Amino acid sequence: MLIIGVDTGGTFTDFIWQDGADSGEYKRLSTPHNPAEAVLAGLKHLAGEKTFQLVHGSTVATNALLEKKGARTALITNRGFEDIIEIARQNRPNLYDLQVSKNPPLVPKMLRFGVPGRIGPQGEVIEKLSEADLQALLKQLEQAQVESLAVSLLFSFNNPKHELLLGEQLQKFQLPISLSHQILAEFREYERTSTTLINAYVSPKMDRYLAQIAAESNAKVFRIMQSNGGSISAETARRESVRTILSGPAGGAVGAAEIGRQSGQHKLISFDMGGTSTDVALIDEKLPLTTESTIASYPIKVPMINIHTVGAGGGSIARLDRGGSLQVGPESAGADPGPICYGKGQELTVTDANLYLGRLIPDHFLGGGMQLQTEKVTQKMEDFAERLGLEPVDLAEGILSVANSAMEGAIKKISVERGFDPREFTLFSFGGAGGMHAVDLAELLQMPQVMVPTSPGILSACGMLMADVIKDYSQTVMLNEQQADHTLLDKLFTPLMKQATSDLQAEGVASDRVELQPLLDMRYQGQSFELLVDYAKDFIAAFHQEHQRAYGYCNQEKAVEIVNLRLRAFGRPDHPLPQARPEAGDKLSAAATLGRTRTVFTGKWHDTAIIDRNKLGYGNRFEGPAVITEYSSTIVLPPNWECDVDRYGHLILSRKGANQ
């Protein structure tokens, strides 16, 4: 059956399709007012009336949270704890900002309801939840006119009796209900409440979006990418939308890890530069996982791939700040009006600067399907440069330099600040704009080489087709190392494993394709936060080793505590990876060179070759300067760098002579 992967972005919506031995890619401008329009139009273009399988990464839940356009939600918690989401953790990320304003809670005080009844820390019932209490709550909710309900009670992860009772009574409203013990069965009531509330806040909007695509497309199988690097059914995603907050970037990280593994590259920094933002992740043998994410300063404790995002993309707008300095981003021109060179934009962007410097070839953008308007860009660049008293070339290079600096900082945050040396990693570049900036970033970070996969502009969509079906489970246990032997832990993991196996079968995964990975959240007694450790034969030693790596020290004399059990359940499909190609020799074919252009590098114009990537073969090698064109992206190869084509068609860029 035809299978299609879709990634919605701020500027373009990307499609990858595979039908037996045939495959292809497609991009179209996004429709920010209703992202489903671009998705449905693309599906119609690719599939016509055929049925197909669909794997989709969506920004709907993310945007609902960032723009605070989610559902009108009521929060139900224990009496006296109604303000927990406002009190929060008292963190002060901007310690010296005298005018800092606190992010307001997603639910105003009038929609936060406290009920009597209390479960104790061991799961014991301290105070019953009476019928009269329930009826009083229902009367209050009738007047609130909400669209969604979130329930988070103390210690429900040890005993969900009261939450289940509330859930049963709340069914009468026929509204989406999020119960905290089902969303996140862990301690720390603020993070659990925040995660549950966000799920309730974004799920109605996600539900409507997914329902529209399901109703108006011919998708026979419909799956959604999660933030944890795996996919789930659309039905599950409609109920648990909090798990899709970073679904698009997660697809890119999965694609980078799978393609890197196939090519023997196990230490990668993925660099995904799109139209509105750049996402980076450090992959050291495996995808980085975190349970301590925050989006718009709201904590979300479900497992996510550890991805860092900055507001620097091809559509990032160049302006002067109040001090007269050049600022690039985080505001983006998006798909509408877009960069000036797309025809409707009025403000200079990173893409316009690349075009002005000759790094984009107007006749070969999107395979020649979209003609870029150089005259408008030239006029705007000259006008802006005259205001600043600069040469237009200097301004254009300055725009790229500011954007590169922001992306360099993002990569240092996930590498240097976490104890990793970027010089030991390969920069894995993708996204529509990544190839134009990858070598510049490698130079700034002294990284030895850049890898650009096939179809880099749609790799996030490709990664969605490569993703496993993944379900995450957790349970707080609070065991010291004397209690925590393998016999007890195996017993505690058993119900999670049974649930996982059953859930994966319900997701359509065959039993011989199921793989379970038990993990432990561990810490030294007295610490406030945990480290994630594999449930190995000697998990205590593994914890000390991970603590040494993360913090530079460990104390093997100090008592260790297991806080949470975690289980990752994988359904392993066949991954549609690129096929090996026959040897083609080191010289380019005559058809591979499309012509010459003039390009600026470090203030000087260079005669530059235009290379057609589709005509490159395994073993081809050539030197810069060159601009490599393909349908979904453009790759810039500066002077003193060279390119090798590997057996799968991926480009390996390195400093001239480095591979000799």
In this prediction, residues 211-235 reach a mean pLDDT of 94
DSSP 3-state of 382: helix
CA 36 to chain centre: 19
Q: What single string gives the DSSP state of each residue in 42-88?
A: HHHHHHTT--EEEEEE--HHHHHHHTT----EEEEEETT-TTHHHHT
Residue 594 three-state SS: strand
The helix or strand, by DSSP H or E, that contains position 531, with its residue range, turns out to be: strand 531-534
Q: What is the average pLDDT across 91-98?
A: 83
Residue 130 maps to a domain: yes
Q: Quick check: 10 and 335 in contact, CB under 8 A?
A: yes
Cβ of 303: how many Cβ atoms within 10 Å?
A: 24
**Residue 29 in this model has a pLDDT that exceeds 90:** no
For 57-85, what is each residue's pLDDT tens digit?
988 888 889 889 999 999 999 999 999 99
Lowest mean pLDDT among 254-258, 267-271, 504-508: 504-508
- How many distinct structural domains can be found in the chain? 2
Q: Supply the range of the domain harboring residue 509.
A: 469-571
CA 581/CA 218 separation, integer angstroms:
34
140 assigned to some structural domain:
yes
Distance CA 492, CA 2 (A): 42
* Residue 9, pLDDT above cutoff 80: no
Band of the pLDDT at 247, cuts 50, 70, 90? confident
CB of 531 closer than 8 Å to CB of 540: no
Read off the pLDDT of each residue in 467-480 and give the average, rounded to a whole number: 93
**How many CB atoms sit inside 10 A of residue 208's CB?**
13
The verdict on whether omega for the bond into residue 453 sits within 30 degrees of 0, i.e. cis, is no
Question: Which pLDDT score is estimated for 660?
Answer: 55
* Distance of alpha carbon 47 from the chain centroid: 27
Domain's final residue, options 153, 184, 200: 200
471: exposed, middle or buried (C-beta count within 10 Å: 0-12, 13-18, 19+)? buried
Please, where are the H alpha helices in 286-373? Answer: 350-356
pLDDT digits (tens, 9 = 90+) for 235-245: 999 999 999 99
Residue 12: pLDDT above 80?
A: yes
Domain end point (choices 155, 171, 200): 200
What share of the chain in percent tops pLDDT 90?
A: 78
337 preceded by a cis bond (ω within 30 of 0): yes
pLDDT of residue 100: 82
pLDDT of 370 > 90? The answer is no
Q: What is the predicted pLDDT for the residue at 359?
A: 95
Mean of pLDDT values over 161-177: 96
Cβ-Cβ contacts under 8 Å for 401 (sequence gap 6 or more): none
Q: How far apart are CA 399 and CA 356, in angstroms?
A: 11
Instruction: Please write the tens of the pLDDT for every residue from 307-323.
Output: 998 888 999 999 998 88
Strand pairing report for 641-645 and 651-655: antiparallel
* Neighbour count for residue 281 (Cβ, 10 Å): 26
- Domain membership of residue 539 (yes or no) is yes
Per residue in 184-205, pLDDT tens?
A: 999 999 999 999 999 999 999 9
Within a domain: residue 510?
A: yes
- Where residue 13 falls (left for φ over 0; alpha for ψ -120 to 50; beta otherwise) is beta
pLDDT band (50, 70, 90) for residue 556: very high
Give the residue from 144, 179, 200 where a domain finishes. 200
The answer as to whether 152 is a domain residue is yes
- Provide mean pLDDT across the span 399-417: 95
Q: Indicate if the pLDDT at residue 658 is higher than 80.
A: no
pLDDT band for position 476 (50/70/90)?
A: very high
Provide the pLDDT for residue 269: 97
For the cut 70, the answer to whether the pLDDT of residue 306 exceeds it is: yes
CB 211 within 8 A of CB 36: no
Instruction: Please choose, from the candidates 290, 115, 297, the residue with its C-alpha nearest in 3D space to the C-alpha of residue 198.
Output: 297
What own/partner pairs with CB < 8 Å and gap ≥ 24 does 323-328 have? 326/388, 326/395, 326/398, 326/399, 326/402, 327/402, 328/399, 328/402, 328/403, 328/406
CATH number for the domain that contains residue 534: 3.30.1490
Q: Which of 396-400, 455-459, 505-509, 575-579 has the lowest mean pLDDT?
A: 575-579
300 located within any domain: no
Rounded to the nearest 10 degrees, how much is the dihedral formed by the CA atoms of 458, 460, 462, 464? -150
How much is the pLDDT for 605? 95
Structural domain contains residue 603: no
Residue 119 backbone phi and psi in degrees, to 5? -100, 135
Q: Which residues contact 381 (CB under 8 A, 6 or more apart)?
A: 348, 352, 353, 356, 392, 395, 396
Q: Which contacts (CB < 8 Å, 24+ apart) does range 13-18 have?
A: 13/38, 13/39, 13/42, 14/457, 14/458, 14/460, 14/461, 14/632, 15/42, 15/43, 15/46, 15/458, 15/461, 16/455, 16/458, 16/461, 16/462, 16/464, 16/465, 17/46, 17/47, 17/52, 18/465, 18/576
- In this predicted structure, the answer to whether residue 659 has a pLDDT above a threshold of 70 is no
Q: pLDDT class for 594, splitting at 50, 70, 90?
A: very high
- Structure confidence at residue 379 as a pLDDT band (50, 70, 90): very high
pLDDT tier at 132, thresholds 50, 70, 90: very high
Nearest to 153, CA basis, from 170, 175, 173: 170
Category of 649 on φ-ψ map: left (φ > 0), alpha (ψ -120 to 50) or beta? left
Q: Are 233 and 66 in contact (CB under 8 A)?
A: no
Whether residue 416 is contained in a domain is answered as no
Alpha helix (H) residue ranges in 297-373? 350-356
What is the number of H-type helices and E-type strands within the chain? 16, 34
CA 535 centroid distance within chain: 26
Lookup: tokens for 609: 């070759």
CA–CA distance, 331 with 65 (Å, rounded to integer): 17
